[in-house]
Amino acid sequence: MLELLGLVLAGIHFGVPVGYYFYVKRNWLPKPWDIVDKDHMTKVTIIIPTYNEAATIKEKLDNLYCQNYPRGLQEIVVVDSASQDATVEIVQEWSREHSDIVVRQISDLQRRGMVPALNFALRSHETSGEIVVFTDADAYCGPFALRNVVRCFADPRIGAVSASVLPMDHANESTESYYRGYYNTVRVAESKVHSTPIQTGSFMGFRRELLHRIGGLPAYTGNNDCTPASVLAFLGYRAIQLENEVVKEIIKKDQHLRKVRRAQHLLLSFLKTKKYAKEKELYTKSVFDRIWRVEWYLHVVNPWLLPLGAFLLLANTMALVFTSLVPLVIGLFLLGSRTFRMWILQQVYLMTALVRNLWTKDIAWKQ
């Protein structure tokens, strides 16, 4: 009996995500993008949050300078939070050297975290573009990124657009590329039918008026991507991830902590955003609810079925029912496969994140 229960839990744990993946890949991914497709050039405010980014910020600005988009329609706002290095000076010098593009440097006087800094920038009168693009100081994009993101906003139903992310150092970072590969497929597929609740904020555009309408970026989370995008999706706008536009992200050290922190923010988004949208009367029923439910289950509940199932099988083995050992041994063997290992690691991040959220939300994180 215990054995059967253990097997069923393990079966659900692996079956639901695999089934969902193949379902969306087959039924949703091939769908055409149902959005107005035309080159839409409008004023854009590009906001870069910085905290001790002296090593990356110059290259970041150089990278933005190469965007294939009229310079007169761009304003770059760098919002810094009490960096202790030369970030601010580097930005000011770069700005002096590039007088053909508007660059503003503003400072949030103390370090409160990325989301509070971005909200500070949104409230400042320096922000006036129809579209706001948030982009990390350590993320680099191709020359058409801005144009491809902005053109989607020609469709009035589009509220948020993000690029897919490619880790810069994927030779050493197999987890990251695996994570991005599997999830990029699912996110793009979800975007085709409505919206995806899981976004990557490394390069992400929002309709500014909508960000104001929802009262800025929700403060209960540390992310600038999944949470506001999901609020907009609940509001009835689409929050999509593009397949053809890729941003490269420098992988900093200490990946495990970073992954747990990102998972914490994602879980906060899953645990609070629907309620938040309803309370603020920003909620309408749509097909996005279905996507939300599946992803909610996959991130909040599904990870826990694995240790539970394994525990039951182990307990059964202790009670001398040795057939229970078979699936456990198979599991151990499968750890030899990279995909399987990465999946397990991802589940560990999610479970650790849920527990860690009990005492810290990591809104202002260590670099």
Interface residue list for ligand GDD (CB under 6 A): 49-51, 53, 79-81, 108, 111, 113-114, 117, 136-138, 200-202, 222-225, 258, 261-262, 265, 364, 367
Looking at the DSSP bridge assignments, the partners of residue 107 are: 80
Strand 158-167 and strand 238-249: the pairing is parallel
Among 322, 218, 224, 347, CA closest to 273: 218
Q: Is 359 helix (H, G, I), strand (E, B) or coil?
A: coil
State the residue number with the nearest CB to ligand GDD: 201
Nearer to ligand GDD, 218 or 303 (CB): 218
**From ligand GDD, Mn ion, none, which one binds at residue 81 (CB under 5 to 8 Å depending on kind)?**
ligand GDD
Q: How far is the CB of 60 from ligand GDD (least distance, A)?
A: 8
Q: Cα 252 to the chain's mean position, in Å?
A: 17
Nearer to Mn ion, 136 or 190 (CB): 136
CA distance 54 to 83: 9
CA distance 128 to 171: 40
**From Mn ion, ligand GDD, none, which one binds at residue 155 (CB under 5 to 8 Å depending on kind)?**
none
**From ligand GDD, Mn ion, none, which one binds at residue 111 (CB under 5 to 8 Å depending on kind)?**
ligand GDD
Q: How far is the CB of 16 from ligand GDD (least distance, A)?
A: 25
Residue 341 has phi, psi (to 5 degrees) of -60, -45
Q: Which of residues 114-173 bind Mn ion (CB under 5 A)?
A: 136, 138
Helix axes 174-193, 255-279, angle to 10 degrees: 20
CA dihedral 263, 276, 35, 154 (to 10 degrees): -110
**From ligand GDD, Mn ion, none, which one binds at residue 35 (CB under 5 to 8 Å depending on kind)?**
none
CA distance 153 to 350: 33
Q: How far is the CB of 132 from Mn ion (least distance, A)?
A: 19
Q: How far is the CB of 288 from ligand GDD (least distance, A)?
A: 20
**From ligand GDD, Mn ion, none, which one binds at residue 261 (CB under 5 to 8 Å depending on kind)?**
ligand GDD
Which tokens in the block code for residue 238? 């689409």
Strand 102-108 and strand 74-81: the pairing is parallel
**From Mn ion, ligand GDD, none, which one binds at residue 114 (CB under 5 to 8 Å depending on kind)?**
ligand GDD
Nearer to ligand GDD, 248 or 262 (CB): 262
Q: Can you give the binding site for Mn ion, defined by CB under 5 A?
A: 136, 138
